[in-house]
Amino acid sequence: MECTHKDFATETIEKEIFDLKFKYKTQVCKDCGAHLRDSEFEKTYMHWLEGVYKDRRDKFQVQCTFSSNLIKCADNFLEDYPGISSTVLMRFLVTVYLNVVDVNENLSSKLDSLLDAQIYDSFLNDKDKKKVNIQFKPNMMLDLVAISEVIDMKPYQIVETAVLKMMTAITSQDKKLREFWEKEIRTYLDIFLKAV
Ligand SMILES: [Zn+2]
């Protein structure tokens, strides 16, 4: 609880996420309405989310649109990783991008400066596009929602941007971008790909 008031009452609070309501009985400040978010709250909330994840997978899917040539490049890349689908690869790309690249200003500005514009633009501007549903785990979906609220982009836009940049880095033959990819990013992606 972030407030410094002293007058509390036990109330049921509602937290809305993915158009669903999480209800929880907790201490609420009578002066400012702040509620206690202790480890018990977090545990119950995550447990509730896991339940939603089991019953409503669709709530943890992000529908994106990608060009056919990007999807083809993803399939080519996956020839070395049999059994992994392009949408699973995309999920990993987004996970690595958000957890490794985007949180490190140095890495993200370096990737942006090295991005092969020719390939990036060909992915972006190809008229032949396909809809792709990417399934995320609860934690990742929460991250996406939180980021989208901060930077005012929809989750699908964050996912599309991340996949576009990462697929450009995978596909390009540019020497500097290749070196950057091998040195800074590849290990993280390999960890996921090998764990499947
Ligand atoms: Zn208060």
Contact yes or no for 91/135 (Cβ under 8 A): yes
Residue 18's pLDDT is 86
CA of 57 to the centre of ligand 1 (A): 36
C-alpha 8 to ligand 1 mean position (Å): 8
Task: Decide: 127 and 71 in contact? Cβ < 8 Å.
Answer: no
For residue 123, give every residue at least 6 positions away whose Cβ sits within 8 Å of its Cβ, in sequence order, or none.
66, 67, 69, 70, 73, 164, 167, 168
pLDDT at 196: 79
Dist. CA 146 → ligand 1 center (Å)? 24
Could you tell me the distance, in angstroms and rounded to a whole number, from the CA of residue 41 to the centre of ligand 1?
18
Give the environment of ion ligand 1: residues with CB less than 5 A: 3, 5, 29, 31-32, 34
> How many beta carbons lie within 10 A of that of residue 162, not counting itself?
21
pLDDT tens, the chain, 196 aa long: 578 899 999 999 999 888 899 999 999 999 998 988 889 999 999 999 999 999 999 999 999 999 999 999 999 999 999 999 999 999 999 999 999 999 999 999 999 999 999 999 999 999 999 999 999 999 899 999 999 999 999 999 999 999 999 999 999 999 999 999 999 999 999 999 988 7
46 C-alpha to ligand 1 centroid (Å): 25
**36 C-alpha to ligand 1 centroid (Å):** 10
Cα-to-centroid distance, 2 and ligand 1 (Å): 8
Domain assignments of the chain as residue spans, ordered by start: 8-55, 59-195
- Dist. CA 106 → ligand 1 center (Å): 39
Ligand 1 center from residue 16 Cα (angstroms): 21
Q: Considering the entire predicted model, what is its pTM?
A: 0.86
* Alpha carbon distance 113, 110 (integer Å): 5
CA of 12 to the centre of ligand 1 (A): 16
Ligand 1 midpoint to CA 14 (Å): 18
